[in-house]
Amino acid sequence: LTIPVFFDVEPFAVKNQSGPFEDAFREHTNNKNLSEKTVKQWRDSLSDCSGI
């Protein structure tokens, strides 16, 4: 069961990872301790959750 909670966030920003999400994912992508696969899974999951 997944219950996404987005407070004071536009669904568009969540789905398209813009604004603060874009900044956070940029940092995650540049983090050498995280694989590209992991970050992509996070991006895909967040995008999927935005449609719930």
Per residue in 23-42, pLDDT (tens digit) is 999 999 999 999 999 999 99
Report pLDDT for 23. 93
Instruction: Tell me the residue type at 22.
Output: E
Percentage, residues of the chain above pLDDT 70? 100
* pLDDT given for residue 35 in this prediction: 95
How would you class 27 by CB atoms within 10 Å of its CB: exposed for 0-12, middle for 13-18, buried for 19 or more? Answer: exposed
Q: Supply angle C-alpha 37, 38, 40, rounded to 5.
A: 65
